[in-house]
Structure 1
């Protein structure tokens, strides 16, 4: 008998598979000069896909900043916007320097201002004549444009909605304000102020798609009463409303929501 090993069906010597599995990387097919063979198959593809997948931070940072600015601009345009209170016409509900957030989303769905809400609106015409306007620098303008800080030069006002289109308002000396014949209970009025004594206008009918607005500090608010004899009758077109102020966000010690007072319910 000879010592030859029995040939395998493929023509290789028996035990060849075991010998191949036991080879060192240097002996693997395709390896030369003592270098290991390159990874093959699925492992190699995974490694190739993973190479260079993560960008350096300095490349990603501008993209992240750009996305954040676009998002902030969209939020300001369609959702909420910050406004700064410039005067004491809404004391004590709002103090000069307070920052409020204004809901700009609901008007897109056809919602209109309701009685008792605190709203920000564009000047109907002549209400802010003679009011000094703060001129922000370039940085402030850029930040206010994208909504990261309130604008200091926009011609906007903030008041409380007392009556809406179709309502009748009575504002007489020595009497509470009446809407559709019912007196308002107004605990939000600035202490010491009177509902209408400083500027009584009698009885007015609010036109359709308009509002009658008044400040909470009645003796320090040039609102609908003070413009009743001017063109426009002191009414604010609904289309001029930017949105409803729903919370005070700054300073932190003044944080509060701005709900509709109960006296306006079922009016």
Structure 2
């Protein structure tokens, strides 16, 4: 079974994000970048499937600037076999990402696409669903557990009421949630080996996909500063404040 795993280069989740003075976007100068945490979980799950003898090949694909090669190398160090970089310096919106991934899927013919449920930079939760629709493949979203079940895939997913299990015919698209697994750290020997693994570079034009943005960012602002707390004299005052807090 071949597994395709899209990975995105984003600002590291430990970094405090700064907004540009002109409010046109987020300041990326001298900021640590890393793999989107949900995509790390996707890579880890693909590697575990390979270690279990279910998957035979893992291909990672990233859409972004030349520096996105580092993100691909991280996935290769974790255990992926090869990478594809669709090189562009433009901001690519979820629909364009899904269209590009659909073209890659048509070329690579994977049995499974494991996608992070969302990216932590724009917080979009659309790409996996759009990709499944474009490919006309079954989808399992917010995966809590993924198991091979004969020629199908059994996905336990998180829903408001608890857990729901669905059975998907392959090929399929699965978006992963936080509690699916705990990603491993890449060892130094694997990092060195990853430098020798192949990365195929292409441009969006090679796939015939128009990545022109459909949305215009009006402005980006920082969240309001939290107001300071207050001290109360006794428990009765605290209870009174809590009761009337919603009315203030």
Larger Rg: 1
Higher strand residue share: 2
Higher helix residue share: 2
Q: How high is the TM-score relative to the length of structure 1? A: 0.22
Q: How high is the TM-score relative to the length of structure 2? A: 0.23
